[in-house]
Structure 1
Amino acid sequence: MLLLPRTARALTTDQAAKLVNTVVDEINGLINSGRSLGQIQSGFERIFSRYADVPIIARSVLGPAARSASSAQLNAFTNAFQGYIARKYSRRFNEFKGTAIKVHSARPYKNFYEVKSTAYLKGQSPVEVVFLVSDKSGKDKFFNIFIEGVNMLATERTEIGALLDKRRGDVDALTSDLRTMG
């Protein structure tokens, strides 16, 4: 029996835009649901785990320490980081309560897609929210967000790096602390 390689499924501009539209629709529904902040945080974590490339993001923000961490440490860090990010960014997106986030363009950029959206805030200037989307992990997922030009990956890399330095490079201590931070 001869096995031929399967053709790689390539992400398209329309698929990237559709993914972000789905994310944005779920975030809009969540932040405008009238739920408590705790419920919003739980919902945001579900959205983040479903649509974000959490393992790639976690490895990236952990930086060089990711290369020397064991599989168990990376898995534990990734899980703790997912909760930390959900708590932190649900607060940021909760500021958009009563607003609408609309996707308005998508384009290929380097080896991924850039999907631009705008958060229309009541009584304030609109805020640009840009999602970077890829299928490198085998599924269509976003791996970075820019809110008002602030790069989530770069910000988290700096913050996680500082937290790791405070713990003298101890990934386990950082992981433990991340479970309650955000």
Structure 2
Amino acid sequence: MLTRRSFIACAALLALGSWVVPPAFAQSGDKSAVAFIQTLGNETIATFADKSLSRQQAVTRFKSLLNKGFDVPYIGRWVLGRYWNQASPQEQQEYQRLFEQLVVETYANRFVDYAGETFKITGSAPAGENDSMVATQVVRTNGPPINVEWRVRSRDSSHKIIDVVVEGVSMGVTQRSEFASVIQSNGGRVAGLIDALRQRVGKG
């Protein structure tokens, strides 16, 4: 349920601390959102570069960073779409727990493949009343650069990432479609998705 684009997005997260900020951009756009992402990236890189940490310690720290930087509950609800209201409170709670666990474990397991990609900021633009899109490129050692945009929601002086758009494809929209397909193939039952998530997490 997590595509190759999702992995590119998480590799991009690791590269955040290596952003190159053009001087012209530094004087415009949502500087607070950029500073938020820069700090998150620095902390993420420091976590996975610290070889004194055990894998479990690194994963625990990453989970904290994920919840600090991403609005995981909001993303989880949005990805479930109209099926959220069809789920019982118990199903909602179990789904959110498994969704977070899936993201953390899958991304953490794949960080070992991180090959030193770096970022450069290419622009920023408002996206609605409270959101900003920060446009970047992931510069790879092999292959052409990858365009990645981060949707950052600002509220009450805080910031959260609510979506990642890789080469014009929204990760949230992609996962929403994948989850809906699983639910539909299980007779429209959210329980079918929960079972699939439970199996996927168990294999991690």
* Same fold at TM > 0.5: yes
> Does residue 109 of structure 1 match 2:135?
no
State the AA in 2 paired with 1:125: P
Compute the displacement of 1:139 (Å): 4.1
Gaps of 5+ in 2: 1-28
Name the residue aligned to 1:78. Answer: 96
> Does residue 14 of structure 1 match 2:31?
yes
Contact 1:132 1:143 in 2 (8 A): yes
State the AA in 2 paired with 1:143: I
How many percent identity over aligned positions? 23
Compute the displacement of 1:96 (Å): 4.2
Name the residue aligned to 1:168. Answer: 187
State the AA in 2 paired with 1:170: R
Q: What pairs with 1:135-154 in structure 2 (closer than 5 Å)?
A: 135=154, 139-154=158-173
Q: Distance in 2 between matches of 1:165 and 1:137?
A: 38
Q: 1:138 to 1:130 in 2, by over 3 A?
A: same
Residue 143 of structure 1 aligns to a residue whose secondary structure is strand
State the AA in 1 paired with 2:149: V
Work out the number of aligned pairs and report it. 171
Contact 2:152 2:161 in 1 (8 A): yes
Q: Distance in 2 between matches of 1:150 and 1:89?
A: 19
Contact 2:33 2:154 in 1 (8 A): no
Q: Distance in 2 between matches of 1:137 and 1:53?
A: 14
Given the alignment, which residue of 101, 114, 134 partners 2:153?
Answer: 134
Compute the displacement of 1:62 (Å): 0.7
TM-score (structure 1 length as normaliser): 0.75
Q: Distance in 1 between matches of 2:120 and 2:60?
A: 23
Compute the displacement of 1:85 (Å): 2.4
TM-score (structure 2 length as normaliser): 0.68
Contact 2:116 2:141 in 1 (8 A): yes
Please provide the CA RMSD for this pair: 3.0
Compute the displacement of 1:91 (Å): 6.1
> Does residue 120 of structure 1 match 2:139?
yes
Compute the displacement of 1:135 (Å): 3.0
Q: Distance in 2 between matches of 1:106 and 1:78?
A: 31
Contact 1:76 1:175 in 2 (8 A): yes
Gaps of 5+ in 1: 1-11
Compute the displacement of 1:16 (Å): 1.2
